[in-house]
A and B are shown apart, each in its own frame.
Chain A
Amino acid sequence: MKLKWVSKAFFIKGLFVLSLFLLIFISSISYKHITSLTESTQLLVHSYKIQIELEQLMSYMKEAETGQRGFIISHDTVFLEPYKSAHERVNGSFLILKYLTAEQKEQQPNLDSLLHLLNYRFELLETSLVLAVNAEMNHNELDLNLRRGRDVMDLLRMQVNKINEVEMGYFKLHQRKYEHEIFFTPIIAFLLLMFTLMVFTFSFIKINRDLVVLIKSNKQLIIKTESINHAEIIGEFCTTQWDPETHRYAFSDNLYRMLGVEPQSFEPTIENYIKFVHPEDRKTVEESYEQTTKENKINPLSYRIIRKDGELRYFRSRGKAVSEGQRNITHIGIIKDVTQMHLNSIELEERNHALEQSIKELESFNRIASHDLQEPLRKIQTFISRISEKEALTLSDSGKEYFEKILTSVTRMRVLIDDLLLFSRTTKTEKVFEPADLNQLLENALQELSHDIEEKNAVFFIPKLPVLNVIAFQIQQLFMNLIGNSLKYSKPGISPKIRIECKKVMAQENPILKPLNHNAFYKISVIDNGLGFEQEYAENIFNLFQRLHHEKEFPGSGIGLSICKKIVENHSGFITAEGIPGIGSSMHIFLPK
């Protein structure tokens, strides 16, 4: 873009020089042409002058002749007057001719012979006059003389014509040369003029087009400037410009607004600006300014501002040096009002702190629950076992029964505490996802349950399970809880059949799966032939402490399935339950692929 402008400037200058040159050329040609025309005219005038003078000369000669003739006839001396004056005039006329033709060499011999003839003619005239005094005596001689005079006159006329012709020839030659010249000059001049006009027209169009672009750019600049002004107001930031050559600042209007003063109400200098900076932060801002001006380094900076109305604001600034080639044109600074952000982050920090505090409290509660709450219960158990053992003989039957009931309650209390702890641990454990073979995890779970499996004589149908990225011990717990439930709620007297299924499903095929981050899931189902449950409870059974059976029938804490749900959620999965009373139940877990 920059290069384009530079070349454009050169182009326009070149056009101007060319046009100027052409104009000078045309002017010089015209000048030459006019000069030549003048010269030609002068030459023509010159020729006419010679012609006129020659005719004058001849007419004087005739006058002299007429005077002489008159005297011969009348012998009256009156006629001698014009004769004498004619002689003088002829001399004068000849001198003029001599002067006019002074620069024409070829006319000189002609003039010499003219003079010779003139002199001879006057000699003859003189002789005739002398003879005419005694005309009768010299009759023959006078006659001869007069005849000779007429011949000389003819010669004179011829000579005059000759001079005239030479002059005309000279004139015509010049005229031809001039016409030759004048034939081409107008064409050249016209073509050049046309060319110049073209150049001018082209330049005009070009300049005009540039002007249109300029106007458009200008308009865009205005729009951009306005946009920035508004963006600054809405975005709560402002810009500064610093010129490294003049060391002068320019502040945008919003800077003043951010300081709570009218736009451009003070001179944009660092000194004036620093007056608004919090006294504790002034040093930092000054140092940064020094760095900017001396080392050309612009570092991000955070500081506080006290507005005109006394309000404390938090500002953050960043800068950038804008350069063209090697030269630094300006330093642009962006200052943002981050007060809200700052306050938010403080609030967030406080909340975080509170959260951490409550997590710590929860942890200590867990410790208390796991240790301190268990201890008295365990002691009660132990003391009861001591009594049952030592005082077996002294206790009545009802006493033994009461002790039995106390023992059951205490045991249940311990199970509750243990399960609650397990549930809270499922929630807060650090989640380490590692690829694990689900077949292995299932096998581990069955191993843990081996006692119950043997006791109930359960039969399993197990497919091949995938390797997934999971929290291994949680998935094992999940299998344990699900299979444990199937064993627990089996039909009495019938060996439980537990079938495990596994297949891939796509998220969009199954309405309960929201394709949040995953498209494909593994659906792993645990299907049994146990007691089953009413489908209406399918949602409830995952809630904490929700139980479908009486404590007496099936002792338990009501936490097992809640733990399952938690575990599946930890894995971004889903769990659903289906049940038919008397037929069996199916638990489906969906784990992302």
Chain B
Amino acid sequence: MHILLADDDEDDCLFFKEAFEDIKIKTNLRIVNDGVELMNYLTRTGIKLPHILFLDLNMPRKSGLDCLVEIKSMKHLRDIPIAIYSTSASEADIEDTFVKGANIYIKKPGDFGALKKTLEQIVTINWQYHTSGLNKEHFLLSI
């Protein structure tokens, strides 16, 4: 399973990597550190598109929100499920990302156990099914 993480924070990337190592599911994790790098990676020819993209909102050069808009405007990238992965969970951010087509909103947990649990839950979701039944009440993932 191909997983792509876009996050500029080294520590978070470390937690993310460790969490996936602990999870029993076989995954292939790829990490990019900012929005520009993310877009360059996704638009490169011949790469395998990820099954799911974890997108931090607060990144240098190009913000997560800008990336979201760009991805959703591209025909071949439009269908990648996007999980917003952010420290804050302000109403405005949640509303904005929902309207712009993100699939789920995850507030970075402060507990490693919770992180593992969350990631496990996300990667096991059948996105095909989830997207069709999309509604705002379930947008913010509560653990």
The interface of chain A, by Cβ under 8 A from chain B, is 367, 370-371, 374-375, 377-379, 381-382, 385-386, 389, 410-411, 414, 421, 425
Contact = CB atoms under 8 A, between A and B. Distances in A.
B112 A386 contact: yes
Contacts of B12: 379
Interface residues of B, number: 18
A411 B110 CA distance: 9
B132 interface: no
A371 B111 contact: no
A421 B87 CA distance: 14
B116 to A, nearest CB: 10
Contacts of B111: 381-382, 385
Contact of B110 (A370, A378, A389): A378
B79 interface: no
A20 B58 CA distance: 107
B90 A414 contact: no
A382 B115 contact: yes
A contact patch SS: helix
Given A371-B87, A382-B115, A414 B9 contact: no
A474 to B, nearest CB: 12
Nearest to B12: A379
Contacts of A367: 88
A382 B9 CA distance: 14
A425 B90 CA distance: 10
B108 interface: yes
Contacts of A386: 15, 18, 112
22 contacts: A370-B87, A370-B88, A371-B88, A374-B88, A375-B9, A375-B87, A378-B87, A378-B108, A378-B110, A379-B12, A381-B111, A382-B15, A382-B109, A382-B111, A382-B112, A385-B111, A385-B113, A386-B15, A386-B18, A410-B110, A414-B110, A425-B90
A425 B94 CA distance: 15
For A377, A379, A414, the residue with the greatest tally of chain B CB atoms inside 10 Å of its CB is: A379
Nearest to A374: B87
Contact of A425 (B11, B88, B91): B91
A115 B115 CA distance: 177
A385 B110 CA distance: 8
A124 B11 CA distance: 191
The 10 closest A-B CB pairs, nearest first, are A381-B110, A385-B112, A370-B88, A371-B88, A378-B110, A385-B111, A375-B87, A374-B87, A371-B87, A386-B112
Contacts of B9: 375
Contacts of B109: 378, 382
A370 B112 contact: no
Contacts of A411: 110
A375 B109 CA distance: 10
A414 B107 CA distance: 13
A479 to B, nearest CB: 18
A370 B108 contact: no
A379 B13 CA distance: 11
